A and B are shown apart, each in its own frame.
Chain A
Amino acid sequence: MDKVGDQQMKHWRLEVDDENIAWLTLDYADASTNVLSSSVMEELGVILADIIQTPPAALVIQSGKKSGFIAGADVSEFGSLCDGDRAFKYIRESQETLYQLESFHFPTIAVISGFCMGGGLELALACRYRIAEDIPSTRLGLPEVRLGIHPGFGGSVRLPPLVGTVTAMDMILTGRSVSASAARKIGLVNYSVPGRHLVNAVHKLIASPPKKQKPAFLKRLPSHRLIRPLLAKYLRKKVAVKAPEHHYPSPYALIDLWLHHADDPETMMEEEARSLARMLVRESAQNLIRVFFLQSTLKGLGKGTDFKAKNVHVIGAGTMGGDIAAWCALRGLNVSLQDRTPESIAPAMKRAYKLFKKKLKKPRLVQEAFDRLMPDTQGLGVKRADVIIEAIFEDLKVKQELYQKIEPQMKEGALLATNTSSIPLEELAVVLKDPSRLVGLHFFNPVAMMQLVEVVKGKDTDDEVVRKAAAFTGKINRLPLRVKSTPGFLVNRILMPYLMEAVVMVGEGIEPARIDQAALNFGMPMGPIELADTVGLDICLSVAEILSSHLGGKVPDVLRDRVSTGNLGKKSGRGFYEYRKGKAVKPKQDSNDRLPEDLQDRLIFRLLNESAACLREGVVEDTDQLDAGIIFGTGFAPFRGGPMHYVKAKGLEDQIKRLEFLEQTYGERFRKDEGWDQLRDQIIES
């Protein structure tokens, strides 16, 4: 693309204008998104070394992509960095390149439009000035902790002195990103301007360079060496609420780094590299990186179709239907929400407004989204809809009648989707003239939080329809998981034995809080008992009964008793726990308190055994999709890489032995599924 010295540049383009300003553009070869791969960093090193030979008046770094500035480091390279020394060496070299950029005596300016994440922001931080385009897609952040690592190209060294310790640590430890205007407010960028003024802002910075930004005294104070230990203690405590150290070590490593070296940038830089190298080779980071890629795998399921949904019609304004409709409107689609009476739609409109306000903040955008959501008691939206989602109560007859009524009104090529979780698609489809157009779109509650949507293929469902449904799911920023139409699909099917085992334990007299603690120790985001209470015990019971009628097994009496006495969980104020102000009242648990090993294994092995059964029955295509489905559908400890990955990591044979032991101790419900034998073949193959 561009020649520097005698070296051909693949990713960078350098142009020097009449005013001797050097414009350096990153245009990552053969991809739509800029990442800082090793080859990009290598080339940058060469270019910077060349620039210093004939210093320009200023150097501007910008992106050649419409999608954004730089998305971060090239995560796909992380897998090959599992050798600690090699990782350290690579990080140090990159740091060196950015140090060179930082030490130029002429102004260096990063012009940021769109995302500027991770390594991208660290590159921008090495520039003397930053200008951000004030558009919604501009986000600046250091999300590394979410992959089980932390910044490594000097982000943790350069950010605190720029924006103040508290703000910087908050950004790094939570991985949250900020908008252009917020970045301006905290001092992360010098200007946040509309696109029409980006070039003007560059010239203004060069003509009258502002003094180096420095946070106010009070913002610098927390990094004083006498105050740091106190703040570090506070930060650790705050992080521990969400991410226990033995599962997620990287934020703690970062706090230590700052605590010990904040006064000495040079050492801190080196230690940052050393610590990151240590993190990178850890299993939990490698697993989280794997999960990151599983996400792209799921997103890929919607490829190969040019289906573009614009209008969505949702029938049934209950919790699920109403929230699905609101989510679709939030994501920019025109939505009509149908129910029988205005009174049954009104509560959904209230929830929708709350969601829009929380997510969009600006009144203008909130109103736009609210306008996109049309309450529709007459079903006017059916004829214009590209996607119809049925989310009415679970009654075969009523659903069938509804389908018969709407099918003749539907646009050609429009999707008919059902959110059913318990009625087989094949039974629903019999009334359709074209049964191949019915597909399942199984959302999870709460819709705005749960990323996964099961795309259910019935016996008759056309493959193209499944692809369209997956593409639609991707369009509304959810992860599609293709599953076969079998009772419970994947997520509920696997979750239920795990929940039921927990309920059985309660029946045995084990304290609920201890059971939940066992699950939390494994890395689940919420214990099974609290989860059951949150979902609603009546709903758990009905799902359990449907599943056991198909798959055998016994629904524990304890669960029936609770439901029959009206203790339905969080919503009724009492389930297995009592709820005060929406919070479960639990006796304080000491996480160091040794729980019987059985507790955890009983929970997890019910889940693993059902996973094996699902694989054997082909509910999902492969182990990767199963892992992804369970992580994004249930929150299964992501740093463990999913149930099947966990089995492989722990050793298949050992796990089978443990399962057999559990069967001997606790009986039939732990009987090894034949799926384990197939798993054995697969693992040997891979």
Chain B
Amino acid sequence: MQKDVTYNGRKVYVVDGSRTPQLKSAGTPGPFSASDLAVYAARSLLARQPFSPDDLDEVIFGCVMPSPDEVNIARIIALRLGCGDRVPAWTVQRNCASGMQALDCAAQNISSGRSEIVLAGGTEVMSRAPILFSPAMAKWLAVLNRARGFAPKLAAISKFRPALLKPVIGLIKGLSDPVVGLSMGQTAENLVYKFQLTREQLDQYAMESHQRLSKAQDEGFLSNEIEAIYDSKGNCYLHDNGVRKDSNMEGLAKLKPVFDRGFGNVTAGNSAQITDGASCLILASEDAVKKYKLPVLGTIVDSQWAGLDPAQMGLGPVHAMTPLMQRHKIDIQDVDYWEINEAFAAQVLACTTAWQDEDYCKTELGLDKVMGAIPPDRLNIDGGGISLGHPVGASGARIVLHLLHVLERNQAKRGVASLCIGGGQGGAMLLERENADG
């Protein structure tokens, strides 16, 4: 059944956007909290606007794992940014697409007339993912706490076993699918098997991701979206530091598969990096654009969410992009540039392969012919999660922001940004630049 355009009310403009450099986790908690990063991403962005932070109608942020002292992190971010007590703020969670979900919510509220200007984005600090006690340990503590008197306390203490101290690594739990019992990497292995992808293909894709980011950094393509961030120890961070300028096939080939040990093809080298980062955009209605004479980066035309087998979650993008494009009656050649978040090289390649696979297009996507091939020089042209990292809650906002800059840089008109979502979903957004020639 063909659905209506999502934003069927007022037009939704993207005014401006900004992000932090994405910092690769060094295996220890990083220097910034998720709200620190979001504050850095948004503060200068707001400072260069002609309106003041308290003129915002709301602030929406996506974040998969806010730390225990940052629940409803969007409100914390808004207050820290000086938006004042009266600007409401809320946090959204759709796993890897949380940042895109924030944009979707903002766009809907603008379209419906509920909001005029919204700050929306995503933030994630994966390096600070918590280490938890097991439920057994929590139970032991609860019994001990309730025990009154010496003897009951002693009895409670005597129940202690060292095994209770075995930590639960929050990040591993977060990146596993409890329903199908697979880690995200294993769902990628499924796709390698399904489409008979080779280790060389995955590594080749990964190497190119690093080369593309490396070139973009050298050319200064990212300088208009990245805001420098500063820690309390006198360091400043200006660039996405996960990039490997010297990435090569030999080096990548040496890495061992991490998810299906001994047999698999998905390695740390051809997967997205564990990274901290925040990205945000300012969305506005036409009235607000006129009122404050705001510049316009582009419009968010439409969006689409889709569900699929959690064990093949990496194919989410094709399930979201297909109906989105059908609705607007556009083909692959009508889209100038693409961003498909690189959770795994295997998963991006599976998406492009699936669209060229007649059987998959017919049986899974309900098409009568193949969608076709996305030209590689139009897809993730400045690198992606493999080289930039994938701070899960932030990536959805980052790819939208970056795609708008790519369209601007190339004087192009239309772009599609999409991600796969842990748990078996896909999300996609259709973006356009007005006054573009072409």
Interface residues of A (CB under 8 A from B): 334, 336, 342-343, 345-347, 349-350, 353, 367-368, 370-371, 374-378, 380-381, 384
Instruction: Report whether A376 and B236 are in contact in the complex, using a CB–CB cutoff of 8 Å.
Output: no
* Shortest Cβ distance from B228 into A: residue: A342
Tell me, rounded to whole Å, the shortest Cβ–Cβ distance linking A602 to chain B: 43
9 closest Cβ contacts across the A-B interface?
A: A350-B234, A353-B232, A342-B228, A342-B236, A346-B236, A380-B47, A349-B230, A380-B48, A371-B80
- Residue B159 is within 8 A (CB to CB) of chain A in the complex: no
Note all chain B residues with C-beta closer than 8 A to A374. Answer: 43-44, 47
Closest to A349 in B: B230
**16 other A-B residue contacts (CB within 8 Å) besides A342-B238, A368-B80, A375-B230:** A336-B47, A345-B230, A345-B236, A346-B230, A349-B232, A349-B234, A350-B232, A371-B43, A371-B82, A374-B43, A374-B47, A375-B228, A376-B44, A377-B228, A380-B48, A381-B47
Please judge, given known A-B contacts A342-B228, A371-B80, whether A378 and B44 are in contact too, CB under 8 Å: yes
Q: Whole-angstrom distance between the alpha carbons of A334 and B48 in the complex?
A: 15
Cα distance, A377 to B47, chains bound together (Å): 12
Chain A residues with CB under 8 A of B230: 342, 345-346, 349, 375
Residue among A336, A346, A377, A384 with max Cβ neighbours from chain B (10 Å): A346
The distance in angstroms between the C-alpha atoms of A353 and B36, with both chains bound, is: 14
In the assembled complex, the CB of A537 is this many whole angstroms from the nearest CB of chain B, namely 26
Q: Does B409 contact A (CB under 8 A)?
A: no
Complexed CA–CA distance, A203 and B81 (Å):
42
Question: With an 8 A cutoff between CB atoms, is B235 at the interface?
Answer: yes
Q: Are B39 and A371 in contact (CB under 8 A)?
A: yes
**A336 to B44 CA separation, bound complex (whole angstroms):** 10
CA distance A350 to B235 in the complex (A): 8
**Using a CB-CB cutoff of 8 Å, which residues 178-235 of chain B contact chain A?**
228, 230-235
Q: How far in angstroms is the closest Cβ of chain A from B186?
A: 39
Could you tell me the distance between the alpha carbons of A366 and B228 in the complex, rounded to whole angstroms? 21
Q: Give Cα A456–Cα B230 distance, bound, in whole angstroms.
A: 34
- Residues on B with C-beta less than 8 A from A381 are 47
- Which of chain A's residues has its CB closest to B52's CB? A384
CB distance from A375 to the nearest CB of B (A): 6
Q: How far is it, in angstroms, between the C-alpha of A101 and the C-alpha of B356 when the chains are bound?
A: 94
Contact B234 A347, beta carbon cutoff 8 Å: yes
Q: Which residues of A contact B39 (CB under 8 A)?
A: 371
What B residues does A376 contact at CB under 8 A?
Answer: 44, 47
Nearest residue (CB) in B for A351 is B234
User: Which B residue's beta carbon lies closest to that of A347?
Assistant: B234
Q: List 25 A-B contacts (CB under 8 A).
A: A336-B47, A342-B228, A342-B230, A342-B236, A343-B236, A345-B236, A346-B230, A346-B235, A347-B234, A349-B230, A349-B231, A349-B232, A350-B232, A353-B233, A367-B80, A368-B80, A370-B232, A371-B81, A374-B43, A374-B44, A376-B44, A376-B47, A378-B48, A380-B47, A381-B47
How many angstroms from the CA of A334 to the CA of B52 in the assembled complex? 13
Chain B proximity of A457: nearest CB distance (Å): 32
Residues of B within 8 A of A377 (CB): 228
Of chain B, the residue at the smallest CB distance from A344 is: B236
What CA separation (Å) do A510 and B304 show in the bound complex?
85
Q: In whole angstroms, what is the CA distance A353 to B230 when docked?
A: 11
Query: How far in angstroms is the closest Cβ of chain A from B429?
Result: 29
A350 CB to closest chain B CB (Å) equals 3
A509 to B230, CA, bound (A): 49
List of A residues within 8 angstroms of B234 by Cβ: 346-347, 349-350
Chain A residue at minimal CB-CB distance from B49:
A380
CB-nearest residue of chain B to A373: B230
In the assembled complex, the Cα of A682 lies from the Cα of B433 at a distance in Å of 76
Bound CA–CA A150/B164 (angstroms): 60
Q: In the complex, what distance in Å separates the CA atom of A164 from the CA atom of B233?
A: 39
Residues of A within 8 A of B82 (CB): 334, 371
Chain B hits for A368, CB < 8 A: 80
User: Which A residue's beta carbon lies closest to that of B39?
Assistant: A371
Chain B residues whose CB sits within 8 angstroms of the CB of A343 once the complex forms: 236
| B47 contacts A384, C-beta separation under 8 Å | yes
Query: With a CB–CB cut-off of 8 A, which chain A residues contact B81?
Result: 371
Of B80, B228, B230, B238, the most chain A CB neighbours within 10 A belong to B230
Nearest Cβ on chain B to A358's Cβ, whole angstroms: 13
Bound Cα distance from A371 to B80, whole angstroms: 7
Q: How far is the CA of A527 from the CA of B193 in the complex (A)?
A: 80
Residues of A within 8 A of B232 (CB): 349-350, 353, 370
Least CB distance, A417 to chain B, in whole angstroms: 21
How far is B235's CA from A346's CA once the two chains are assembled, in angstroms? 6
B233, A350: Cβ atoms under 8 Å?
yes
Partner of B44, one of A347, A367, A371, A380: A380
The winner among B39, B80, B234 for most chain A CB atoms within 10 A is B234
Contacts of A378 in B (CB 8 A): 44, 48
CB-nearest residue of chain A to B44? A380
Could you tell me the distance between the alpha carbons of A374 and B228 in the complex, rounded to whole angstroms? 11
A396 vs B187: C-alpha distance in the bound complex, in angstroms?
65
| Complex CA–CA separation, A374 to B46 (angstroms) | 12
Bound form: Cα–Cα A374–B44 in Å: 8
Among B39, B47, B233, B235, find the residue whose CB has the most chain A CB atoms closer than 10 A.
B47
> Which residues of A lie under 8 Å from residue B44 when comparing CB positions?
374, 376, 378, 380
Cβ contacts under 8 Å, A334 to chain B: 82
Question: Measured between C-beta atoms, what is the minimum distance from B70 to chain A in Å?
Answer: 12
**Min C-beta distance of B123 to chain A, whole Å:** 15
Contacts of A336 in B (CB 8 A): 47
Residues of A within 8 A of B228 (CB): 342, 375, 377
> Which residue of chain A lies nearest to B233 when distances are taken between CB atoms in the complex?
A350
Shortest C-beta distance, B49 to chain A (Å), equals 9
**Alpha-carbon distance A350/B233, docked complex (angstroms):** 5
What is the distance, in angstroms, from A382's C-beta to the closest C-beta of chain B?
10
> How far apart sit A371 and B36, CA to CA, in the bound complex (Å)?
9
**Cα A438 to Cα B238 with chains together (Å):** 35
Complex alpha-carbon distance, A378 and B18, angstroms: 14
- Interface readout for B69-108 with A: 1 if CB under 8 Å, 0 if not? 0000000000011100000000000000000000000000
Considering the chains assembled together, what is the distance between the CA atoms of A345 and B227 in angstroms? 14
